[in-house]
Structure 1
Amino acid sequence: MSDKLQKIIEERGPIKKIGVLGMGYVGIPAAALFADVDKFEKVLGFQRNSASSGYKIDMINAGESPLKGEEPGLEDLLRKVTGSNKFECTPDFSRIAEMDAVTLAIQTPFENPTDLIPDFGALIEGIRNVGRYLTPGTLVVLESTITPGTTNGMAKEILEEESGLIAGEDFALAHAPERVMVGRLLRNIQEHDRIVGGIDNTSTERAIELYSPVLTKGKIIPMTSTAAEVTKTAENTFRDLQIAAANQLALYCESMGINFYDVRAGIDSLKGEGITRAILYPGAGVGGHCLTKDTYHLERGIEIAGKTPLDYPENADSIYVLARKVNDFMPNHMFKLTEDALASVGKSVKGSKIAMLGWAFINDSDDARNPPSEPLYDLLIEAGAEVRIHDPHVLDYPNVTIEKDLNAVVDGADVIAILTGHSDYFKLNPADIKTTMGKDKPVIIDGRNVVDPTKFIDSGFVYRGIGRGDVN
C-alpha cells in the first residue's frame, strides 16, 4: 500500500464525480445507475462525436436510450437522471480532469483469434484520453474484458506515460469487469456480485467505494487486478465450454438416432448433496461479444501474465480452444442439416430459397454482435442459395438486408432455418407457414428447439433439428 496515494485520496475526499467512457451496452446503464446514487453528485458519459455513434450524445441527453431491444427500466432511469441534471453525455474529454473516478467500458475484440492478438485500438485510445487529463488521486477502473496482465501492464504504462503520474502512488488503478446480459442490464449490475481488483490495496478500497452504493443484492468480491481479469475471462470461457459440451452431445445423439432432450432430462434428474450435473442446451452456434473471444484473452494471459512455464500435457490441445472450435462449427452443421433435408426431397442448396429466421445471437434482443447466423448465411450464399432474413428486433446489419415482414420472408421459401429463439418463432403455425411457403415438401431446420417436430412433420414438413436424432 502506498502511503502517498492514501494521503492524496484522503485529502481529495469521497468520490463525488464519475466519468464513464464507452456509451454502449455496459456504459450507459452503469452511468445511469451511478447517477441515481444520492452520494454521487455528477456523472459524465464520454462519447466521441463520430459519424457512426455521435447520435448517442443527443439521444442520451434527451433521456432516450440508443440501445434497441427490451431493457426494462433503462429509459425511465435515463429520463430521471438526465432530467435532474445528474447525468450528461459529452464529447469533451478534457472534462475527465473534473472527475474523481473514471471507468472504461470499451469493446476488446479479436480480429484474428489464431494469432492471439486482440484489437485493443479503441481501448488504448480511451486509456490515452484518460491519461491526458488525469489528476492526482483519481481512480481509473477498466471494466472491459481484457487479457490477464493488462491492467497492471499496458494500461498502467499508458496512463503513466500520458499523465506523468505514477499508478499506486499518484492515482488508483483497478479492474472491475462487467457481468451483464442484454435484456437485463440494470438488474445484472445491481444484483450480480462485483469483482473488484486493484493493483494495490488502496486502489482496491477506492474501487469498492465506487461500486458498493450501486449494488442491491450483489456483494463486492475483492482480489488482485490479475485475478479479476482471469475471473472474468474464465467465467465466460467456462460457459462456452458448457455450451460446447451440450453441442457435442447433441451431435452424438443425432448420430445415434436419439433425442438429446430426453438425455438431458435424464442427466438433470440426478440431484442430491454433492451432485452437480448441470448441462446447458445445444444450438445453432454461439454469438455475442464475450463468449466468442474471451477464451482467447484467457489463453493469451499465459503469455502476458505468466510467471512460470505452464505445466500441461505435452502437445495436447487446450480444452477451451477446442470448445471454441466446436461452437464455431455449429453453423456448418446447420448447413449440413439443410443440405441433407433438401436432398431428401430431391433438391439441392443451389437455387433453393432459404428463409432465415433470426439474426440476433440472443432471443428477443437486437444484439447482433458476431451472430452465428452470419457464417450460415455466407455458406448458403456461397452454395448458390437465395436467402432472405427475418428478425423482429435487428434494424440493420452491414451487407445484409433484414426484413420485418415474416410472411414476406417465408413466402415461396423451400426452407425455413431458425437461428434465434425469438418469442415470435415459438408461435409459428405449421399449417399457415406451409400455405405461405407454397411447397408440397417444405423443409424446416430448427437450430434452437423452437418448434414441435411432431406438429410440423404431421403437417407435411421435412424436419431437421439440432440434437433431434429421433426425428431427423
Structure 2
Amino acid sequence: MTNKLSSILEKRGPIKKIGVLGMGYVGIPAAALFADSEKFDLVLGFQRDSPSSGYKIEMLNKGDSPLKGEEPGLEDLLRKVVDANKFECTPDFSRISEVDAVALAIQTPFLDPASLQPDFSALIEGIRNVGKYLKEGMLVVLESTITPGTTDTLARQILEEESGLKAGEDFALAHAPERVMVGRLLKNIQEHDRIVGGIDDNSTKRAVELYSPVLTKGQIIPMTATAAEVTKTAENTFRDLQIAAINQLALYCEAMGINVYDVRAGIDSLKGEGITRAVLYPGAGVGGHCLTKDTYHLERGVTTSNGDLDYPENTDSLFVLARKVNDFMPDHMYYLTREALKRIGKDVRGSKVAILGWAFINDSDDARNPPSEPYRNLLIENGAEVMVHDPHVLNYPEVEIMKNIDEVIENADVVAVLTGHSDYFKLDPAYLRSLTEKKNTVIVDGRNVLDPDAFIGNGFVYKGIGRGDKNKHPII
C-alpha cells in the first residue's frame, strides 16, 4: 500500500500549490507564510461567503488583515504575497482540486464538556469539502486541535467516502497541530518546533515537505498522527494545569493574608541543576479557544481508545480538576466584587460595574470564551448595571463594547480589570476617582496591573487576585 502512494507522490512531484481552509487566527498567518516561500507557487485561502465572515474575502484579497489587535508583521506580509500574486482568498471550494496539499485550520469547540461531546460540525463540513474535490496524490493535513484518534478514523472515513480514494494508498493524510499564540502568530509558526504526524511514513514525509520551508528556528518533530494529536492536546492541558496551580495558590494566599506574587518570586528564585519549574501567573480566568477545551479532547481520546486505563476510582482526573479551578476564577472575581461592596455598605444589586477588558488576552481582539463573560453574567443576574470597555474588541454577540473608557467608568461603583491591556497599566487613580465621583469606589484587579497603595490612598476599596496582603486594607 505504501509503495503505491510513494509512486503516486513521486509522479506528482514537489508541492507547489497549497490550499488553507479557515481564514482565522491560524489559517491566515499560515497561508501568508506558505505564500511567501520560494518553494511554493500559489496559496489559496478558502473562506465561506457567510454573513458573519464573508467580509474577510475582500479584505484578504486587498492585503488587509481582518484580525485586529497587535499582530506584528502580518499585514505587511499579506500585502506582499497579494501583490506578488501568490495568495488569493476564495469562497469557491471546487478550486481545492487545483492544489497539491490542503491544510484545515477550523475551530473545534465542545458542545458539552461533562459528556465529552465535541462540536465537530464545522470541521466535518471542511473535511467533506476537501473530500469532494480530492485528487490522487494530494496531501490533506488537519491543523485543528482534535480528539486523539480523529485523523485516522473520522477524517479518513469522510475523505474516503467523499472521494472514492484510499488514504495511505491514493492520498496522504496527516495531523500537524498549530502551536500559535495571538499577538505573535507569524513568529510562533516560524520559530516553534512543528509536530508532524502522518497515518503512515509516506504521509509524514509529505507533510514534512509542506512545513519545512516556513520554519526559521523551529525544527520538524515527526511521529504518528495519534501521537501528534495527543501532543497538542496534552501541551495545552499542561499549561492549563500550571495556571490552575498558581490560581489555587493565589486563593490560598488570599485566605492567609499574604501576597501571592511574593510567594511566586520566592518559588521562582530556586534555580540549579535538576530543577525544572515554570511558574505562571494567576488571574481572573482562562479564556480563548484552546485551553478551555483541549483538556476535554484529551479526556475523550482516552475514553474512546478502548485502552485499559488504570486510575483512582471515582476521581476527577488532575486535568479536569484544573479546568474546574480555572473556570472558577470569574466566580471568584464576583466574590471579591461583592465583598468589597459590602465593606462600604453597598450591594451588587443596583451598583454600576465598569468591566475593563473583554478580550481573553492582552492587547488583542481575541474574545473567544473570555472570562469577562461569566463575570458579567453573574453581575447582571444579581441586579448590577454593567458597562464594558475594550480598546481592541470591536463587537461581541449581545454585548455592547464601549471605546470611551471615561464613559464606562463615569459614576461607577466598581471598576474591574479583567484583561491586562497595556492601556490599563496607565490608569490614574485620582482621575478615575474624579470620573466615579464617589468617596469610595471598588477596584477589583484581576490581572495585577494596578498599584494597590496608589488606589487605596485615593479612597478606593481594593481587591486583587492573590493579594491577601491588601484585600482587607483600612478604607481611606
- Residues 1:194 and 2:184 aligned together: no
CA apart distance, 1:317: 1.2
CA apart distance, 1:277: 3.0
The separation in 2 between residues aligned to 1:386 and 1:48, in whole angstroms, is: 38
Aligned to 2:309: 310
CA apart distance, 1:51: 1.1
Aligned to 2:43: 43
TM-score (norm 1): 0.99
Task: Give deviations 1:248-291, integer Å, cap 9, x for gaps.
Answer: 00000000011101100110111000012321111000000000
Aligned to 1:359: 358
Aligned to 2:15: 15
Aligned to 1:435: 434
The separation in 1 between residues aligned to 2:301 and 2:263, in whole angstroms, is: 36
- Residues 1:144 and 2:144 aligned together: yes
Aligned to 1:216: 216
Corresponding residue SS for 1:469: coil
The separation in 1 between residues aligned to 2:407 and 2:134, in whole angstroms, is: 55
- Could you tell me which amino acid in structure 1 is paired with residue 378 of structure 2? L
TM-score (norm 2): 0.98
Corresponding residue SS for 1:346: coil
- 1:46-57 aligned within 5 A: 46-57=46-57
The separation in 1 between residues aligned to 2:335 and 2:23, in whole angstroms, is: 40
Return 5+ residue gaps in structure 1 as ranges: none
The separation in 2 between residues aligned to 1:17 and 1:207, in whole angstroms, is: 14
- 1:67-466 aligned within 5 A: 67-304=67-304, 306-466=305-465
The separation in 2 between residues aligned to 1:308 and 1:39, in whole angstroms, is: 42
RMSD (Å) for aligned C-alpha atoms = 0.7
CA apart distance, 1:308: 2.2
Indicate the percent of aligned positions where both proteins have the same amino acid. 77
The separation in 2 between residues aligned to 1:207 and 1:17, in whole angstroms, is: 14
The separation in 2 between residues aligned to 1:135 and 1:460, in whole angstroms, is: 69
The separation in 1 between residues aligned to 2:279 and 2:70, in whole angstroms, is: 27
The separation in 2 between residues aligned to 1:254 and 1:277, in whole angstroms, is: 23
Task: Give deviations 1:322-358, integer Å, cap 9, x for gaps.
Answer: 0000000000000000000000000000000100000
CA apart distance, 1:437: 0.7
The separation in 2 between residues aligned to 1:251 and 1:107, in whole angstroms, is: 32
The separation in 2 between residues aligned to 1:88 and 1:254, in whole angstroms, is: 53
The separation in 1 between residues aligned to 2:86 and 2:266, in whole angstroms, is: 53
- Could you tell me which amino acid in structure 2 is paired with residue 310 of structure 1? L
Return 5+ residue gaps in structure 2 as ranges: 472-476
Deviates more, 1:139-148 or 1:111-120: 111-120
CA apart distance, 1:313: 1.3
CA apart distance, 1:96: 0.7
Corresponding residue SS for 1:274: coil
The separation in 1 between residues aligned to 2:64 and 2:259, in whole angstroms, is: 46
CA apart distance, 1:307: 4.6
Corresponding residue SS for 1:70: coil
The separation in 2 between residues aligned to 1:205 and 1:219, in whole angstroms, is: 14
Deviates more, 1:121-130 or 1:69-78: 69-78
The separation in 2 between residues aligned to 1:179 and 1:242, in whole angstroms, is: 17
Task: Give deviations 1:407-458, integer Å, cap 9, x for gaps.
Answer: 1100000110000000000001111111111000111000000101011111
The separation in 2 between residues aligned to 1:62 and 1:2, in whole angstroms, is: 42
CA apart distance, 1:49: 0.9
Task: Give deviations 1:93-132, integer Å, cap 9, x for gaps.
Answer: 1111111000000000002111101000000000000000
The separation in 2 between residues aligned to 1:366 and 1:37, in whole angstroms, is: 28
The separation in 2 between residues aligned to 1:251 and 1:343, in whole angstroms, is: 20
- Could you tell me which amino acid in structure 2 is paired with residue 6 of structure 1? S
Aligned to 2:474: none
Task: Give deviations 1:184-212, integer Å, cap 9, x for gaps.
Answer: 10110000000000000000000000000
- Residues 1:469 and 2:473 aligned together: no
The separation in 1 between residues aligned to 2:420 and 2:438, in whole angstroms, is: 24
The separation in 1 between residues aligned to 2:234 and 2:75, in whole angstroms, is: 32
The separation in 1 between residues aligned to 2:315 and 2:306, in whole angstroms, is: 21
Corresponding residue SS for 1:108: coil
- Could you tell me which amino acid in structure 1 is paired with residue 399 of structure 2? V
The separation in 1 between residues aligned to 2:18 and 2:303, in whole angstroms, is: 33
Corresponding residue SS for 1:235: helix
CA apart distance, 1:390: 0.5
CA apart distance, 1:238: 0.3
- Could you tell me which amino acid in structure 2 is paired with residue 282 of structure 1? P
The separation in 2 between residues aligned to 1:48 and 1:461, in whole angstroms, is: 49
- Could you tell me which amino acid in structure 2 is paired with residue 457 of structure 1? I
Deviates more, 1:307-316 or 1:100-109: 307-316
